[in-house]
Amino acid sequence: MNGARLSNDSRGAVFVEHIIAYLPVMFFFLATWQLLEMCAAHLILKRAASAAARAAVVVLPDDPAYYRQMPKNRFDGKRKEDIEFAAALILGANPHFVDKFEVKVNETSASNPLTATVSANFSCFAGWVSLVCGPGGKRLLTAKSTYAYQGASYNYEL
């Protein structure tokens, strides 16, 4: 083929136009999918915070005999493990929470409500095209839940 015939050839034009139109649509589709995945993950994280707060309301004022004689109302040791376990059961429902998560509980008293905060890294499925998660492919999500704290006002010792 000589140069004059190649310059008039338009056989690949439809393919090139298809690629030019296809890439932005696919990119937008993946970004939307990631955003929906993150929204669903945030709902799961909010439920995990609720489970952690509910567990803390029960576990923190409980009898020290069940928690290796750890004093009441302390977010430490076996009490902390049980509260974190409650959150972990919920977070296990989403495979995008791959890293270790963190549970924090505020100082408790009978006059203050109990607030549990759960933070976890959300890992995007396609970090290389992520507008949602950023360049690292991960985003820290945080959720809080507050419950009325009605700790025991009596001593467990006989």
Work out the average pLDDT over 14-40: 86
Please state, in angstroms and rounded to a whole number, the distance separating the CA atoms of residues 88 and 102: 10
Q: What is the pLDDT of residues 131-149, one digit of tens each?
A: 777 777 888 999 999 998 8
The predicted pLDDT at position 45 comes to: 97
Torsion of CA 18, 19, 23, 29, to 10 degrees: 40
Q: What is the pLDDT of residues 67-123, one digit of tens each?
A: 888 888 888 899 999 999 999 999 999 988 877 899 999 977 667 889 999 999 998
Going by pLDDT thresholds of 50, 70 and 90, the confidence category of residue 4 is low
Q: Across all residues in the chain, what is the average pLDDT?
A: 85
Ordered by start, the domain boundaries in the chain are 13-147
Going by pLDDT thresholds of 50, 70 and 90, the confidence category of residue 130 is low
Torsion of CA 76, 79, 83, 89, to 10 degrees: 120
DSSP designation for 112: B
